[in-house]
């Protein structure tokens, strides 16, 4: 049996192949005197037959003969039982040998094989019939190692069985095909007379292969571009490979013992780890995809596969996570999604331009402190299959694709038509400032519809005007030359100086709602708006406040002198 990595042979069984039965010499100390006494008793009884002896002597002789007979019968019975026990022990030994996963090979003092089990046949390729009687050293030991084995065998032969000694070595043996392979061998002396030795042999080929495979896997783990991390049942990091360091930026000595969720999961994402952990604890594997954070705070996308880590009792003691950085893949997916979305909206824009799929909603603009409407700002909407889409769904795609020019012309043509019912304000895109044909289109549309240009206001944003100040000045002057009014929208968001107003002859400044919405609570906003109004009035420009949602704000804009 294996003991602490070695093998210990049983020493109390002298049965086995090649073993001769012996009579215990102590039996003669009893049997010889009894035999002599029995003979004397028989002689006495014979004499008594012819000449009567004393009765007591005769009874003693008869009793002695009976005792000898009973003793011999008992001795015969014990001998028979001993033979049965020896037979059973031999059968058990042979069966154990045959069932052993180790090669069990016994040799005599001449190293001739006398025992050979099935495992030995499987490993070395020789049948039992071929092996029994062969010289074990010549059969199984490579030539260059035979001297070593002979010396070891000679040394081992000097040991007494009572010393209970064994020898354990790692070496190489050879099989029937001539293949030399590594083994571990434990020798034990199992009988003394005649001397007999047993070797317990296990091939190390699979173990060496496993060790090489484990080394190879360890090298793969170390050099993998993926992050391979193991955590215990509390989520604390137990191992952290080079791939994890490359992806997340933390070194192994920094993260060991830290919670994985505290290091790499952004706020609000911890529940995902808890969900996958519960799945792994049940013995299953899992997969998740999401955002992670690096040591320097950068966010990235990873996909992770989780596997349970088990101990020798098959109990789950932790979780292994293999994470792959898919940030570039996600970026490409987002680009592809964006391209599909742009194509989709561009198709809808083109169809809406062809089939009059746009409409206007009118936002009334009042004189301050009065219910009188000055004009309506026309806000464009797209209508598709009964659904109304706000401008933020399609205007960005229209500007990127150049389709915004078509929307500008649709707005001009339809806005001029509505101006015959009430004064209107029409929003123009930033691209309109650089469109050399737009002014001619507006003039032609006014003429075709016989419209009053004074009932038309064209709004351009402050940001687009500042970015194209020269073109903006030309456009504003051309529109005013047609008799139209011009409004500068979202005023204040450009964080620019007011000096450009002297070169940009607009009729109206629309103060951005970000300054108006908190006038009642923010003194700084009030001071900024007050400055805007004063500057505009100095240039004889009207002011418009947008984003008024309560009576208190309405009263403040009246006090500040805002016109509309």
Domain boundaries, the chain: 13-96, 99-208, 225-325, 347-506
Residue 459 CA to residue 134 CA, distance in Å, equals: 110
Calculate mean pLDDT across residues 452-463.
Answer: 94
The pLDDT of residue 20 is above 50: no
Of the pLDDT bands very low, low, confident and very high (cuts 50, 70, 90), residue 218 is low
From 108-112, 409-413, 415-419, 447-451, the region with the lowest mean pLDDT: 108-112
Residue 347 CA to residue 129 CA, distance in Å, equals: 87
Start-to-end CA span in the chain (Å): 102
Residue 561 CA to residue 368 CA, distance in Å, equals: 8
Decide if 284 contacts 245 (C-beta within 8 A): no
Residue 310 CA to residue 13 CA, distance in Å, equals: 42
Helix (H) or strand (E) holding 181: strand 180-192
The pLDDT of residue 429 is above 90: yes
Q: State percent of the chain over pLDDT 70.
A: 78
Domain 99-208, CATH: 3.30.450.20
Of the pLDDT bands very low, low, confident and very high (cuts 50, 70, 90), residue 4 is very low
The model's pTM: 0.55
Q: State percent of the chain over pLDDT 90.
A: 43
**pLDDT at residue 267, rounded to an integer:** 81
Decide if 424 contacts 455 (C-beta within 8 A): yes
The DSSP letter of residue 495 is -
**pLDDT at residue 14, rounded to an integer:** 40
Q: Encode burial over 310-331: b for 16+ CB neighbours within 10 A, e otherwise.
A: eeeeeeeebbbbbbbbeeeebe
User: Looking at the DSSP assignment, which residues form a beta bridge with residue 106?
Assistant: 115, 198
CATH architecture of 347-506: Alpha-Beta Barrel (3.20)
Residue 393 CA to residue 399 CA, distance in Å, equals: 12
For residue 217, what are its two tokens? 């896997």
For residue 158, what are its two tokens? 């000097």
The DSSP letter of residue 548 is -
**pLDDT at residue 405, rounded to an integer:** 95
CATH 3.30.70.260 fits 225-325, yes or no: no
Q: Name the more confident of 205 and 108.
A: 108
Q: Name the more confident of 6 and 375.
A: 375
Q: CA-CA distances (angstroms) from residue 363 to 16, 373, 380, 453? A: 111, 10, 11, 20
Residue 261 CA to residue 223 CA, distance in Å, equals: 24
Among residues 171, 170, 164, 168, the alpha carbon closest in space to that of 189 is found at: 164
| Greatest extent of the chain over all pairs of C-alpha atoms, in Å | 179
361 preceded by cis ω (within 30°)?
A: no
Residue 560 CA to residue 526 CA, distance in Å, equals: 9
Mean pLDDT of all residues belonging to the chain: 82
- Alpha-helix residue ranges (DSSP H) falling in 379-497: 391-401, 404-418, 438-448, 462-467, 469-481
Taken as a whole, the chain contains a residue count of 564
Residue 122 CA to residue 210 CA, distance in Å, equals: 20
225-325 shares the fold of 99-208: yes
Among residues 257, 239, 237, 255, the alpha carbon closest in space to that of 294 is found at: 255
Residue 200 CA to residue 521 CA, distance in Å, equals: 92
Q: Which of 73-87, 192-206, 393-407 has the highest mean pLDDT?
A: 393-407
**pLDDT at residue 196, rounded to an integer:** 83
Q: Name the more confident of 383 and 286.
A: 383
Q: Are strands 237-240 and 227-232 parallel, antiparallel or unpaired?
A: antiparallel
């Amino acid at each position: 049996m294996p003991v602490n990595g070695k093998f210990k042979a049983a020493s109390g069984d002298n049965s086995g192949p090649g073993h001769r039965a012996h009579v215990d010499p102590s039996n003669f100390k009893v049997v010889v005197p009894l035999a002599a006494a029995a003979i004397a008793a028989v002689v006495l009884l014979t004499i008594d037959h012819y000449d009567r002896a004393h009765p007591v002597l005769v009874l003693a002789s008869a009793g002695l003969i009976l005792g000898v007979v009973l003793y011999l019968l008992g001795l015969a019975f014990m001998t028979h039982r001993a033979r049965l026990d020896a037979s059973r022990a031999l059968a058990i030994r042979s069966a154990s040998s045959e069932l052993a996963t180790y090669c069990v090979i016994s040799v005599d003092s001449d190293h001739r094989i006398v025992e050979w089990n099935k495992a030995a046949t499987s490993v070395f390729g020789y049948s039992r019939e071929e092996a029994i009687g062969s010289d074990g050293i010549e059969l199984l030991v490579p030539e260059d190692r035979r001297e070593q084995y002979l010396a070891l065998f000679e040394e081992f032969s000097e040991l007494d069985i009572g010393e209970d000694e064994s020898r354990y070595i790692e070496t190489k043996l050879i099989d029937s095909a001539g293949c030399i392979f590594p083994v571990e061998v434990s020798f034990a002396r199992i009988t003394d007379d005649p001397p007999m030795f047993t070797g317990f042999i296990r091939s190390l080929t699979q173990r060496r292969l496993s060790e090489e495979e484990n080394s190879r896997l360890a090298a793969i783990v170390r050099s993998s571009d993926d992050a391979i991390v193991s955590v215990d049942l509390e989520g604390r990091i137990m191992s952290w490979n080079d791939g994890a360091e490359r992806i997340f930026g933390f070194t192994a000595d920094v993260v060991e013992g830290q919670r994985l969720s505290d290091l790499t999961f952004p706020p609000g994402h911890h529940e995902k780890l808890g969900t996958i952990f519960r799945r792994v604890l049940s013995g299953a594997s899992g997969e998740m995809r999401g955002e992670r954070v690096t040591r320097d705070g950068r966010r990235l996308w990873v996909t992770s596969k989780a596997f349970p880590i088990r101990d020798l009792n098959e109990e789950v003691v932790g979780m292994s996570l293999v994470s792959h950085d898919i940030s570039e893949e996600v970026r490409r997916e987002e680009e592809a999604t964006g391209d599909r979305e742009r194509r989709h909206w561009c198709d809808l824009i083109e169809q809406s331009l062809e089939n009059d799929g746009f409409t206007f909603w009118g936002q009334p603009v009042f004189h301050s402190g009065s219910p009188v409407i000055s004009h309506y700002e026309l806000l464009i909407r797209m209508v598709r299959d009964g659904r109304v889409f706000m401008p933020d769904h399609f205007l960005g795609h229209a500007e990127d694709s150049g389709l915004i020019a078509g929307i500008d012309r649709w707005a001009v043509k339809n806005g001029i038509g509505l101006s015959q019912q009430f004064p209107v304000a029409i929003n123009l895109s930033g691209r309109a400032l650089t469109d050399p044909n737009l002014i001619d289109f507006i003039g032609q549309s006014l003429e075709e519809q016989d419209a009053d240009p004074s009932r038309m206001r064209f709004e351009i944003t402050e940001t687009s005007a500042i970015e194209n100040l020269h073109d903006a000045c030309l456009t504003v002057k051309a529109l005013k030359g047609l008799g139209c009014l011009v409004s500068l929208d979202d005023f204040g968001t450009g964080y620019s100086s007011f000096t450009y107003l002297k070169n940009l002859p607009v009729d109206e400044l629309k103060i951005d709602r970000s300054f108006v919405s908190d006038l009642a609570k923010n003194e700084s906003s009030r001071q900024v708006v007050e400055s805007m109004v004063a500057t505009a009035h100095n240039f004889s420009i009207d002011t418009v406040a947008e984003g008024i949602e309560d009576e208190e704000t309405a009263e403040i804009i009246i006090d500040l002198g805002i016109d509309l």
